[in-house]
Every structure is written in C-alpha cells, then in structure tokens.
Structure 1
Amino acid sequence: MVGHKALLRWVHLVLGGALLMPYWMLSVVLLGGFGQGDGLLYQVVVLLGSLFTSLPMAGITALVPIVRGLEGAAARALCAVERPEELAGGPSQSWAARRRTALWYMLHVFLGGVVAGLTLGGGTGAIALIISEADDTTPWAGSSTGRLLAGPAVGLGLILLIVLISAGSGALLARCAPVLLGPTPEERLAAAERRATVLAQRNRLARELHDSVGHALSAVGIQASAAARVLRSDPDFAAEALHAIEETARAAVAELDTVLGLLREESPETAEPAGPTLAGLDDLLRQLARTGVTVDADLSPGLRALPAEVSREAYRIVQEGLTNVLRHAGPAPAGLRVAVTGSRLEIELTNPLGPTRPSRPGGGRGLRGIDERATALRGGSAAGPDDDGTTWRLAVWLPVGGTA
C-alpha cells in the first residue's frame, strides 16, 4: 500500500489523469452546450458526465498503433508488473491488439482521473482539516478536546482513503497490464514460429559443424598419431600422413567457411546451404583410406543426378557414419552401399564390432544428427548391432524428391 512500488503506481495513475484532461475539458464544453443551468447539481452532473463521455474519445485515439508502444513503456517503468518483459514494446500490428490497447487506455485514464482528482481535491481538503480547528458549529465537536482532534482525525481518514483507492487502482492496472498490453494469441504464435525457426537454424548449423569439422578432426588426429609412431622407422609413410593432414585441414577450413557463411546471410533460415554432395564420395573414401579404414563401396549409378538437397544430406550422413567407424571401430574394414531403389535413396553402412573396441550402444550427437537429417527430408534411419552382435549396421532411407 505504501513504499517505492506504490509511489511508482501513483505516478502512473497521475499520468493517466493528465492524459484524461484534454478529453474531459472537451466533454465539459460539449455537454455544457446542451443545456443551461447555474445550480450546483447541474454543475456536478456536467462534471461527472464529462468524465464518462471522455472515455470513448480516449479509446478512439488509442486505436493509433503507436499508443500501444508508449503505454507499454510507461507500464513497464511505472506499473511494477511481475513480468514487464511480456508487455508490448512496439506499435499494434493487428486490430485485436488495437482493441486491447483502447481498453487499457480507457482504464488507465479513468482510474488516473479519479486518483488525480482525489489527490488534488481530497488532499487539499484533508490538509485544511488537519491544520484547522473545529468551532461550536461543527457537528462532531462536542467539547474542546473534540474541537481540537476532530479536524485532524477526519483529515487523516481522508488521506488514508485516498491512499487505499490509489493502491487499489494501481494494483488493478498492474493485474490488467499483461492481459491488455501483452501479446495477442496471434503474436504469441508468430513468436513461437520465430523461435522454432531460429532453433531449427541453430540445429542445422550445429549438424554441419559436427559432421564436417568433427570428421576432419577425427581423421587428423588418427593420421597425426600414426605419423608420430612411424616417424623414424618409416619416414615416407609419415610424410604421406602429414600431407594427408594438410589436405584434410585445408578441406575442413573450406567447409567451415561455407558453414559460417550461412551466419552472414541476412535471412539464414532461408539461405540455400552449400557443401559437398555424393559426387565427392570418392575423395571422402580416399581420405579415409589414409587413416586405415578400408571401405568396400557399392555405389549405384545415377547418384550425380539426385536433387542437390538430397545429395548434400546423403553425403553428410555417409560422412558421419564413416566418422563413427573411425572413432569407435578404429582402422576396420567397412561396407557401404548407396543405391537408388524406386523413389527413394537407400544408404547402408556396416562395420565389424571388434572384441577390443566395441561400438557404443545408442550413439551420441552423430546418430542423432543423422536421424534429424533423414527426418527433415521425410525419411528415416536405424542403427544398431545385428542379431549375433558382430556387426554394426546403419541404414538410412530418403525419398528422392524429398525437401526439408
């Protein structure tokens, strides 16, 4: 009821009273022109009637889109709502938002007019009662003590009443602010769609970085380890490994530039991704051969004719699958089949599960990324050991005409 929050809300209400004054004065002029009268009752009717007739005029002006942003800023600063970040920060974008703003504005100026009037008129009267002394004609002054205390008591009671009305009005505005100045259902839906788009873009970039740079780092690590072991005993092999590291690093930097280029797009969620396609599988297989992973590849003819989006995602899936072989099975032989069967592209990758380095069940980000890529193209994937537990199998199917 009192304190910093109550003071802020009182300032907010007085601001509403100040905003009401032009509408109220115009209403007084208009209502005064419909009749003649000099009596006190007539003046009271005109003044009170003007208060209510000014509200529709205030509501009409609040339909201007910019009013929502201004009222939202004032409410965030002065209304002391629980979650001020939910209040409007810009103009109204729809008629639903304009109608809500009009209701809020009318409520703000009405309660502000009441509190401002009580503060100016009632506060002045209360101070006058506190500093004055009742005489014999005062109804409640029955004795000298009564004459001494009656005025201050009534004045303090009036001040308390004004404080209570101000606190209640401020609390009412704070409760109504998220409803009337908060986002409409359409705005909430649009915000959710924007968040989903940003999240999808982040996941897309994370997959690209994981599959491209992660593969390169795994290959570089194994090649560097092999070169270090045979540096003195087989310098020719070490030199070849270092050359392979150089090529892998250069290719990784190029792919990293491609992925980071998506971040520089003004609309990255609509930017067309770039990257290697199934046409570059031969280079990928040669790179893996340098690390000791021999791949028996069965590649169907016509892969180069696949749609670019399907071909890019398929390449990343094969790349991540072979990287998993490199990480979890070591320099083990692997079998790869990429074939177009009817209206879908089938990818199958197998590798033995050695007794010393068994593959991890389930998988981590790599397998999840493969499934996300397949699902984005309305395909699917499955991964796991076979029935006898000696071979790990990854199977992915993608519709040839699939689009994300």
Structure 2
Amino acid sequence: MPRILAPLLSAATYARWLHLLIGLIFAGVVLLVFPGTEGRSLGGLLALAVPLDVALLVAAALVPAMRRAEGVQARLLLMPAREQDIAAEPARGFADRRRTAVWLIGRVALGTAVGFPSVLVPAAAVGLLVRPEPDLFGLRLPAREGFTWYPLLAPVLMFALGWLVVWAGRLQLAMAVRLLGPSPAERLAAAELRAERLLERNRLARELHDSIGHALTVTVIQAGAAREVGDPAFVAKALEVIEETGRQAMEDLERTLVLLRETRDTAGTGGAFEGADGADGPATERPGIGQLPALFDTARAAGSPVEAWIGVPAAKLPGVLSREGYRIVQEGVTNALKYAPGEPITVRITVREGQLELRCTNALASSAVRASPRRGGKGLRGIRERATLLGGGAAAGPEAGQWVLAVRLPLRLGA
C-alpha cells in the first residue's frame, strides 16, 4: 500500500503535473487567439490546432535561448535525480535545435493528453457525489435512486487520474533527459573541464607535498640534531635554518592558496593555469633552477654534504622546465634527508640530446644511521607525474649502493 500511495503524495508528482498543464495552456491559448475556431467540431479543432501548434513550436525551437529556457523549467518542475542530466545551455547547432523542436512538440502533445482528463475527471467525480443524474464523460447514468454506489466511483476516478499524472510525469522526465540532455559536444566539454580541474588539484597537491614536506623534513632533522649536540652555536645555527625554512614554507603555502582561489574563481576557464605559470606577481611566483643553491645550503645545514653541478644557465631554460626541475630536485634532496640523513648528496643537471637530465644520488643509509622507513611513495609518484605531463620520464631505485633518481625532460615542449 505505501508503494501505491507514495507517488500520489510526492511533491514531484504535482510539480510535474504543473509542467504538463503548461503544455495544455499553450495549445488552448493558440486556439483562443486564432480566428475561425467557433462552431468547429472536435475533429475540426484538432485539424486546425495540430499544424498550427507544430509550426509555432518549430519556429520557437530555432531560437537558441529556447533550449536554455526549457532546460531551466524542466530542472525546476520535473525534479530530475541529477540536474546535469538536463542541460541549461542555449542551442549551439542544428542538432540541438532539432531536439528542442521534438521536445516542444512532445511536451505540448503529452500535456494536452493529460490536461483534458485533469479537467474532466474531477468534474465527473463531483457529479458522482452530488448530482441526481450523474454525467460521466458525456454518458448520462441512471438516476441516483437505487444506485447508491455512485459515490464509490469518485475516489476510483481520482486514483486513476493520479496515477495517470505519475506515469505521464515520469515519461515527461525521460523525454527531457533524452531531448534536453547535454549534447555530445557538451558532454566532452564537461569531461575536459573535470579533467582540467583534477589535474590542477593534483598539481596543487604536489606543490604542497614538495614544499611543506621539505620544510618539515629539514625542521625535524635540525631540531633533532640540536637536541643531540647541545652546542649553543650549533643550536643557534639550527634555529636560524628552521626559521628560514619555515618562512619559505609559509611563502609556498600562501602562493598555493592564491592558486587555489584562482582555480575556484576561474572554474575551468584556464586562468588558474595561466596564473600558475605566468608569474603574475610575488604571491604566485614559483621557484626555479636559479633557487637551487639556497636549497642545497639548507640541506648542508641539515648535516648532509651536497655536491651540485648545474650545466645549464637558469635563464636559458623554459620557465615551466625551470620550475618543475626545481620541484623534482627538491623532492630528491628531501628524500635523501629523510631516509639517509647525514649521507652525501650529489646533484647533476645537464642538457644532452635535446633533453634536460636531472640526476640526484645519495648513499643508502648505513647501519649506523637510523632512517625512517619509506611509506606511501607519494613524492616519487609526484615526480613521475610531473615528468609524464612534460613528455619525459623518471626512474628511481637503488643502484650500486646508492639511491638514484634520474629524470629526463624534453626541451622542445618548453620552447
């Protein structure tokens, strides 16, 4: 019983009913304003109304904004499970206009088919309840005397009308999803927008992981070393490094938050990417290869000797390669500090055969050095993602007693 009654009590049913009745109103208004309808039979009215309605609806469908208006109305009154199942965009081509025309014709036809019973059934139900000689859809019934069961037909008729509206509303919704749903071009654009936003979120996540992860690693190592050594001069130097690293981390966090706000405000228009790569100001300027010496100084202050050789001027590198190269080397140095603290680190950056090569090596942690175990591998995965997006490749793993990170990036993509 609840399954039978629940649709009849649903707000969606009555909202869809209103949507259906609008179709009847359109057909009725056309007949009222068109001359020559008086004295015609029902067949004559239909013969006049159908071609006229179809012509007007097709003409209306040619207006691009009609598709948007119908989509907004369908979203409000048909109550789809997901709003994106019904588009609310203007028609962009002939295919959209054709589907809009079919939708308008079908909507008016279904609305008219449901509208007449919506008027006639309540009138017949009232007649069964109060009239001495009820009139059921033009069929006059015998006098009420001896037929006391007439009033029992009234709720049956209203129940049947209710379920007619339920099924018509569901059919109307299915038509809307089919005919007003996103076109293939709109679905492709939506998929590209989702992919763009996902890529931007992943990029921001990598930025936070690399910059904040490096800062925390250096801070933990410096604090632990200062506690162990206990030398006032060393403690002062460690605090200085912690302060500088924390300041740099705060700048990185502020820049990432600026990019996050731009991503939200542009909503997939490409502005977030432009702001990230365009260096619009100090808040969004990202470090490049030229800032690596400061990174190496931080690692040396943390107790790990760094030998670096940069064989390409930072000014001659494309901006995107310079920035991504910095992050890749930063992650390599951070991993070395985290998993092999105190061990020597070697960094080489060269250009060979039209490719930028970055190689970061460090000795594996000795038995005398405690290194935290690797967990998750998010940093290495981020390096591979950076390299793949730039058309290159990355490899990392133990080699001859050392941990080697090797990345190759094509220079032509940044030119």
Q: TM-score, normalised by structure 1?
A: 0.84
Matched, 1:248 2:245: yes
Work out the number of aligned pairs and report it: 387
Match of 1:29 in 2: 35
Measured in 1, the distance between the counterparts of 2:199 and 2:261 equals 16
Measured in 1, the distance between the counterparts of 2:248 and 2:79 equals 56
Pair 359,335 (structure 1): closer, same or farther in 2 beyond 3 Å: farther
CA displacement, residues 311-360 of structure 1 (integer Å, 9 cap, x when unaligned): 21111111110000011111111222211112111111111222444675
CA contact (8 A) 2:221 2:302 kept: yes
CA contact (8 A) 2:23 2:112 kept: yes
Match of 2:9 in 1: 3
Measured in 2, the distance between the counterparts of 1:360 and 1:20 equals 75
Match of 1:45 in 2: 43
Matched, 1:16 2:27: no
Measured in 2, the distance between the counterparts of 1:225 and 1:139 equals 99
Letter in structure 1 aligned against 2:168: S
Matched, 1:395 2:406: yes
Matched, 1:194 2:205: no
Q: Which structure: larger Rg?
A: 1
Letter in structure 2 aligned against 1:199: L
Matched, 1:317 2:317: no
1:327 pairs, out of 325, 330, 338, with: 338
Pair 283,73 (structure 1): closer, same or farther in 2 beyond 3 Å: same
Match of 1:287 in 2: 298
**Uncovered stretches (5+) of structure 2, i.e. residues with no partner:** 1-6, 278-284
Secondary structure (helix, strand or coil) at the match of 2:23 reads: helix
Shift of 1:252: 2.6
Secondary structure (helix, strand or coil) at the match of 2:391 reads: coil
CA contact (8 A) 2:99 2:180 kept: yes
Secondary structure (helix, strand or coil) at the match of 2:329 reads: helix
CA displacement, residues 220-264 of structure 1 (integer Å, 9 cap, x when unaligned): 221122223334xx1111111112222222233333333333335
CA contact (8 A) 1:376 1:403 kept: no
Match of 1:257 in 2: 254
Letter in structure 1 aligned against 2:23: G
Shift of 1:58: 2.4
Secondary structure (helix, strand or coil) at the match of 1:354 reads: coil
**Uncovered stretches (5+) of structure 1, i.e. residues with no partner:** none
CA contact (8 A) 1:307 1:401 kept: no
Measured in 1, the distance between the counterparts of 2:379 and 2:247 equals 23
Measured in 2, the distance between the counterparts of 1:140 and 1:259 equals 79
Measured in 2, the distance between the counterparts of 1:86 and 1:182 equals 6
Pair 133,256 (structure 1): closer, same or farther in 2 beyond 3 Å: closer
Match of 2:87 in 1: 88
Secondary structure (helix, strand or coil) at the match of 2:8 reads: coil
Alignment of 1:2-401 (within 5 A): 2-4=8-10, 5-26=12-33, 28-29=34-35, 32=37, 42-53=40-51, 54-134=53-133, 141=142, 145=146, 148-149=148-149, 159=158, 162-231=161-230, 234-265=231-262, 266=266, 267-273=271-277, 274-356=285-367, 357=370, 364-386=377-399, 390-401=401-412
Pair 125,345 (structure 1): closer, same or farther in 2 beyond 3 Å: same
Letter in structure 2 aligned against 1:220: T
Measured in 1, the distance between the counterparts of 2:194 and 2:383 equals 23
156-165 vs 65-74, which deviates more? 156-165
Shift of 1:85: 4.3
Secondary structure (helix, strand or coil) at the match of 1:23 reads: helix
Pair 304,293 (structure 1): closer, same or farther in 2 beyond 3 Å: farther
Pair 370,141 (structure 1): closer, same or farther in 2 beyond 3 Å: same
Measured in 2, the distance between the counterparts of 1:339 and 1:282 equals 16
Shift of 1:77: 3.3
Shift of 1:98: 3.3
Residue identity (%): 39
Measured in 2, the distance between the counterparts of 1:253 and 1:158 equals 72
Measured in 1, the distance between the counterparts of 2:73 and 2:9 equals 19
Shift of 1:302: 4.0
CA contact (8 A) 1:197 1:269 kept: no
Shift of 1:157: 6.3
CA contact (8 A) 2:318 2:414 kept: no
